[in-house]
């Protein structure tokens, strides 16, 4: 198998205030995405597909890709806002991409036969997540059985604002029964519990609740299923929220489960996530990355 790492890197970074996907956080100006690629290569992944906006290719190539090409096969895919089902009209003032499902569909002609991981460019997942998902690829993946790595919600929060997470429910065998994208999750005022906003009010969320950080294990069979759901939901999404509607991958995986189209095994990680949702998150990430170099988890220079 040629296990493939697919990285969602076409976001606009509106809350962060720039192209956060390649903003340096390491002492040699490495972005988080470079650590993700390093961990994937160490776990045995052999190909990288980077989903970006086409106008950003030169920036990605210069800041990152020229360093990793000697170590892994690389291919670009481009999220294009005009790549939507025929007959659907794009709102005149729309500039925001169509979301993570749409981004993944940009790879539908690239990802063939071999299993692949999908993850975000600006999230640090840890090496254990790649090792767990690689083991699953060799033991449990088939056309209708996928997987995800889930994290405890309290291990995924920012101290600088709210976050959006895919809230997961699973059965006794750790298969996902439902997943819903929940926005505006944060610590409560006492910083000893988690709350989320619903209907204008903040409600408690149980500590330890498993959430998705968009770390999925799929194969090519997922593409037509996602394409069908995206085409079904896009017209209503545009009608209800013409400028900001997004087709979110966790919600659409949940729809596939509801329709009986797949099973998704939840592989649990006790690691703490960190990332750069907000500009104010960066100093914390810089310190954590340096501590991982200091303790020998990563070499001083990832790609010599």
Read off the CATH number of the domain in which 149 is found: 3.90.550.10
| Average of per-residue pLDDT across 203-221 | 93
Whether the CB-CB separation of 129 and 149 falls below 8 Å is answered with: yes
Q: Is residue 41 part of a domain?
A: yes
Is the residue at 132 inside a domain? yes
Q: For residue 299, is it within any domain?
A: no
Mean pLDDT of all residues in 267-287 = 85
- Tens of pLDDT, residue by residue over 240-265, are 999 999 999 999 999 999 999 999 99
**Residue partners of 80: CB distance under 8 A and separation at least 6:** 54, 106
What proportion of the chain, given as a percentage, has pLDDT over 70?
97
**Residue 150 above 90 pLDDT?**
yes
pTM for the full predicted model: 0.91
Is residue 81 situated within a structural domain? yes
What is the number of domains present in the chain? 1
DSSP code of residue 62: I
Establish if 27 belongs to a structural domain. Answer: yes
Q: What is the pLDDT of residue 270?
A: 80
Beta bridge partners of 159: none
Q: What does the pLDDT average to over 186-192?
A: 94
Please tell me the distance from the alpha carbon of residue 44 to that of residue 65, in angstroms, as a whole number: 18
Strand partners, 267: 149
Neighbours of 106 (CB within 10 A): 21
In-domain check, residue 301: no
- Burial readout 81-95 (b: 16 or more C-beta within 10 A, e: otherwise): eeebeeeeeeeeeee
203 contacts 195 by C-beta, under 8 angstroms: yes
Across 141-156, average pLDDT: 90
Residue 303 domain flag:
no
Which of these, 107, 99, 111, 156, lies nearest to 129 by C-alpha position? 156
**Rounded to whole angstroms, what are the CA distances from 285 to 38, 281, 292?**
17, 6, 11
Determine, yes or no, domain membership for 262. Answer: yes
Report whether pLDDT(141) > 80: no
- For residue 84, the enclosing domain spans 4-294
Distance CA 34, CA 100 (A): 20
Task: Note the pLDDT of residue 12.
Answer: 55
Contacts of 135 (CB under 8 A, 6+ apart): none
Burial of 271 (0-12, 13-18, 19+ CB in 10 A): middle
pLDDT at residue 140 in the model: 66
Q: Using the predicted structure, report yes or no on whether residue 276 has a pLDDT greater than 90.
A: no
């Amino acid at each position: 198998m040629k296990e493939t790492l697919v990285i969602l890197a076409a976001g606009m970074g509106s809350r962060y205030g720039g192209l956060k996907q390649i903003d340096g956080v390491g002492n040699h100006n490495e972005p988080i995405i470079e650590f993700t690629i390093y961990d994937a290569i160490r776990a045995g992944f052999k190909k990288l597909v980077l989903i970006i906006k086409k106008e950003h290719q030169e920036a990605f190539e210069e800041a990152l890709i020229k360093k990793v090409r000697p170590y892994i096969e690389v291919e670009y895919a481009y999220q294009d806002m005009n790549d939507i089902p025929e007959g659907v009209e794009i709102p005149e003032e729309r500039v925001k991409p169509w979301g993570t499902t749409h981004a993944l569909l940009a790879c539908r002609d690239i990802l063939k036969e071999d299993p692949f991981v999908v993850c975000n460019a600006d999230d640090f997942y840890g090496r254990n997540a790649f090792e767990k998902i690689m083991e699953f690829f060799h033991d449990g993946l088939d056309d209708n059985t996928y997987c995800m790595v889930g994290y405890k919600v309290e291990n995924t929060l920012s101290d600088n604002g709210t976050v959006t997470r895919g809230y997961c429910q699973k059965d006794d065998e750790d298969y996902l029964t439902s997943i819903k994208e929940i926005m505006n999750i944060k610590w409560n005022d006492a910083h000893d519990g988690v709350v989320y906003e619903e209907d204008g009010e903040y409600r408690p969320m149980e500590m330890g609740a498993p959430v998705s950080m968009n770390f999925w294990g799929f194969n090519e069979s997922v593409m037509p299923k996602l394409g069908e759901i995206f085409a079904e939901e896009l017209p209503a999404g545009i009608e209800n929220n013409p400028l900001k509607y997004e087709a979110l991958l966790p919600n659409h995986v949940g729809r596939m489960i509801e329709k009986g189209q797949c099973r998704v095994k939840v592989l649990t990680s006790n690691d703490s996530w960190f990332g750069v949702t907000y500009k104010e998150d960066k100093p914390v990430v810089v310190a954590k990355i340096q501590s991982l170099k200091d303790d020998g988890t990563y070499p001083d220079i990832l790609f010599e």
